Amino acid sequence: MAARPWQNPKASRTIQILEAHAIKKSYGSGESYFEALKGVSLSIAAGESVAIVGKSGSGKSTLMHLLALLDTPDDGRIVVEGTDADSLSATALNKLRNSAFGFVFQQFFMIPNASVLENVVLPLKIAGMPRGRRTERGMDVLRQVEMDDKAGNLATALSGGQKQRMVIARALANEPRIIFADEPTGNLDSATGTVVEDLLFELNERHGITLVIVTHDEELAERCDRRIYLKDGLIVDSAATAVEVRR
């Protein structure tokens, strides 16, 4: 059976892969001024699975965007694998996102009119990997999500569950150390949702990939090692799942 993350040699709990120190973020000005994050600090260990839970407007998506370095905080610091994100150039930041992060979004975000394989190898193409190796690696990850028989299909012709599996394969393509998932099962029925969830946790447990899942789905959050509850831009609670409770 799958090893527990902390028993996985790849995942050492002592290394903090992602840290946020008192980050603040606001949008707009005047009447439309809105403070999305009011000073959030957290620390995520390598190999951990963390759920960021909150209602819409709680700032959970903003927090994920900041952690994924898609945006910069107004105040506070974000440290990725010991490096302050502030100190990185735009090019280094792009390179870090490309090589270390994988993204799974609720709305899939695929290239229409392109094949499943072409969609999956997009991060590798951006990284500049030659075509041959790209295809090889793309087929590998498609096999991992049991979609290799659909490689040549048009991405838009897939079912919802298949699309999300394809997106997970895309997130996996560059062998990321962290996968950011924003409501990964939001658009799926519960049966296919469960399949996608299983896939994500399997990656976490087998390969030690750190999972950061933004969700308002309490059941999905329960499956994570740790939950961070956000309300009005502040962490209001956090809880670790006892080993016995975990599946």
Chain-centre distance of CA 82, in angstroms?
19
Among 2, 111, 157, 240, binds other proteins (CB under 8 A): 111
Cβ proximity to other proteins: between 71 and 237 the closer is 71
Cβ proximity to other proteins: between 103 and 229 the closer is 103
* Interaction of residue 234 with other proteins, rule CB under 8 A: no
Cβ proximity to other proteins: between 53 and 171 the closer is 171
Q: Which structure tokens are listed for 83?
A: 């490096």
User: Taking the CB of residue 153, how many other CB atoms lie within 10 A of it?
Assistant: 15
Minimum distance of other proteins from residue 126's CB (angstroms): 5
Among 103, 117, 203, 224, binds other proteins (CB under 8 A): 103
Task: Report the distance separating Cα 186 and Cα 38, nearest Å.
Answer: 26
* Interaction of residue 94 with other proteins, rule CB under 8 A: yes
Among 13, 15, 41, 71, binds other proteins (CB under 8 A): 71
Site string for other proteins, 176-215 (x = CB under 8 A): ----------------------------------------
Cβ proximity to other proteins: between 11 and 120 the closer is 120
Instruction: Kindly indicate which of the ranges 9-17, 38-46, 100-108, 239-247 contains the residues binding other proteins, using the contact rule CB under 8 A.
Output: 100-108
* Interaction of residue 125 with other proteins, rule CB under 8 A: yes
State which H helix or E strand residue 125 sits in: helix 122-127
Q: With contacts defined by CB under 8 A, how many residues of the chain interact with other proteins?
A: 25
Q: Position of tokens 């899939």?
A: 108
Task: Report the distance separating Cα 182 and Cα 204, nearest Å.
Answer: 16
Minimum distance of other proteins from residue 33's CB (angstroms): 18
Q: Are 73 and 66 in contact (CB under 8 A)?
A: yes
* Interaction of residue 68 with other proteins, rule CB under 8 A: yes
Among 15, 22, 70, 236, binds other proteins (CB under 8 A): 70
Task: Report the distance separating Cα 190 and Cα 200, nearest Å.
Answer: 15
Q: What is the 3-state secondary structure (H, E, C) of 8-38?
A: CCCCCCCCEEEEEEEEEEEECCHHHCEEEEE
* Interaction of residue 96 with other proteins, rule CB under 8 A: yes
Task: Report the distance separating Cα 156 and Cα 21, nearest Å.
Answer: 40
Minimum distance of other proteins from residue 5's CB (angstroms): 25
Q: What are all long-range contacts of 4-10, with beta carbons under 8 Å and residues at least 24 apart?
A: 4/205, 4/243, 5/47, 5/48, 5/49, 5/204, 5/205, 5/208, 5/225, 6/47, 8/47, 8/205, 8/206, 8/208, 10/47, 10/207, 10/208
Binding site for other proteins (CB under 8 A): 65, 68, 70-71, 90-91, 93-99, 103, 105, 107, 109, 111, 113, 122-123, 125-128
